[in-house]
Structure 1
Amino acid sequence: MKGEEEKKGINRRQFLGYSALGLAGLTILPSWRMADGKRIPPSDRVVLGFIGVGRQGVSDFYSFSKCPGVQVVACADVEGLKRERFKNKVEAWQKSQGIAQRCDMYEFYEDLLERRDIDAVSIATPDHWHALVTIDACRAGKDVYVQKPLAYTIREGLEMVKAVRGNQRVLQVGSQQRSDREFQTAIALVREGAIGHIETIYARVGDPPKPFDLPEQPIPGTLNWNKWMGPLNDPKIHYHPDLCPPISLKPEQDEKLWGAWRWYREMGNGYTADWGAHMFDIAQAALGMDGSGPCEYIPKGYSGAEYLTMKYINGIIMTEQPFREDDPEAKGIRFNGSKGWLKVARGYIECSDPSLLKKQEQKITEGQYEVSSPHMQNFIDAVRSRKNPIAPVEAGCSTNTLCCLANIATELQRPVKWDPVTLSFNDDNEAAGHRLHHYQYRRPYSL
């Protein structure tokens, strides 16, 4: 098809633009006006498909809907009611924008990936599906926005890096704090040495996962539970509505909670990864450790250790502990340097020397320091430019590896050493055989 397009003197985006016009009948695709006044022609729009359209998938759609030049044409989910809800929301939004309204539904994401008109996919499945869907999407020539944490196991994350780079794709991890002003300010100050040499970091993320203990309940007829399970092979896992929260279309009722799969060892990595993919991720970015990470993990309680402790080869120590005394459970980070300290959380930043924050704000005002666009817009910009987004696959992989290693040490109840250069445990066969390094997929799935 590409050869035929080139013979006719049109590029791929123009060809897809004409195809969309045909599908939409007499609907005219408008140009979009950017904040700087620049217009985006229909031929340069970014066509999205969504895979996993529960609570997080819908939230991601709303964020993408704020990006000029985006069109949504398809969704895939193993739960039929969630597919219908998503289709209704997308078509109502696109009608209000005067663009093609059709949003097709698929039970199997593989069918969505066969669509040649889709440029990129947004993935908000449970973590145990991230790797397979991402790898398949890359092989199908799609760019990827995938929710955090990047993967469920260490090996999955490493294979995702290979798939992204081997297929020359753009991938953005949903660690959106990297696009937030407070965190970008903190990262810049740490990197510039504003508070001196970093000695310790306190990062509050929360508890590790617990063993699965929900009672089995009947599977609803609208859910393909076998497909939801996918590669998981643990016989203890069975259906419970908390794992895939139900919704209702008549009367309309959305999920009452986040999918609880994330809190259980057999299918998730607990708060360690759920919030670690945010807070540990910012620490990694500030230290310049994207693509690397700590070399030793000491679990809470081992030889009197009060907190989960992670040691970097340069001597920096990061602990999972309260970052502010007045709110011990608040999620956030404290960097302790030789010249002072810096605390940062969502909507909050404080420094031992307040003038450093004022100076950084002045740099932003004067244009000396650029603040990233919103996270989804940053991804769309990267899709167009073919440059790395602010949270590329290597950053997501190193943070995911850190979270998995922290949980491996916690479950083994002893220190675990990791070589961030060779990406190996060296001679620790017990750690290397842990399911969070990797596990045997259920047939017919393979990584």
Structure 2
Amino acid sequence: MEIKTGISLQTKQQLSQLQVESLNILAMSMMELKDFLQNEEIENPLVEYTSGKEEAAPITYKETERFYNGTDRDERRENELYEIEDSEKSLEDLVNTQLQWEQIGETERKIVDFCIQSLEQSGYLMIPPKDIAKDLGVAEEQVEEVLSMLKELEPQGLFASGLEECLLMQVRGMDEEELLSDIIRNHLQDIAEGKISTISRGLKISSAEVRKLIHVIKNLNPRPLNGIGGEKAQYILPDVILEFQDGQWNIELNDKWTGNLQVSDFYIHMMETAQDEELKSYFENKLRRARFIMNAVEQRRTTILGITREILKRQEDYFLGKGQLKPMTLEDIGDVLEIHKSTVSRAIRDKYLRVPSGCVLFRSLFTTGIVSSDGNGDVSRNTVKTKLKELVAAEDKKKPWSDEQLAGLLQDAGMPISRRTVAKYRMELGIGGVFQRKDG
């Protein structure tokens, strides 16, 4: 083996420390931002931090029906912090206050109550829909429909049938959803045993990519009920508020209560009059730091508001409850705003948007589309799932359709997806296989 030395010229882009910190500020939640700004004031004498005039008063989920159901709110409580109450009934409150009860019939209420009472401490519902239907004396289709609705609630993964479905529910809408789903379905044991090469060969991707995907999976929550009903309260703060009045949308970043930063005039004067060069240099560095933080916070506001406006353009009907969620990716938003998709991802991390119909996680609004066979553009995954549910509900229970047949029916409806994707969507909807659905 011969070792040679040489010089090569290459271009490599690296983020500076300031760019990294700016991206970290962008990814912060409102609570994290407030703590960060307070800490800056402590460490930097040139920073003056002014708290918001009105602190966001914590309230329990029991008091937030208007929040989830889009009903009128008290004007005094424009900026509110939403808390999961720590009590024995906190789980019931968590579920009940997210549901549109006026649209739920008596039988569905009975199923909801049964499912809540049957949840494991982990947040899983281990009882099959068929058994729930038998115990309650209701149709299995009704149970599956209610379960599909419950699985859309927060926290993600609640009411899953087990670990695999819980993780699958949490990777929906992510950039690498297909690969992540493949690993979760087929390689969880390989992850536990550290068999990176096995996963790499199975997925035909590099070991480095596998490690990145595993890192994402390890950051998911395998127990959705962790922290609920415990000693520490959980909080939801809507980061952006979307209001629709008189045919016009108003977008407001809900950050007034976090306070503001400004530069101290006293220390600026001290810097300008300082005779000691070392002291003057110290103040100049602190001034640069203060201006950087102020600019980063303002850029954060601009980016989040820009992303919200672009989302609104695409999902207006969905926010008003008049249509399905349309296909939308991080790249779609990034291309319009001329920013990288990773920047969009950081900006929406763990952030909530309040709309007239309720409160949604920004991440849940992003979904890939399926090219329709009629050439009329993409249809969203939610639209395909809705059609799939309709087909299963209308099938002959004595001769239920196989996944292959369902794929053919969806193809006829202008939604070309594979048999494997049908099986995936069916499982996510809580719909059993052909033998589970067969009656008699």
- TM-score where L is the length of structure 1: 0.23
Q: Which has the higher helix share?
A: 2
- TM-score where L is the length of structure 2: 0.23
Q: Which has the higher strand share?
A: 1
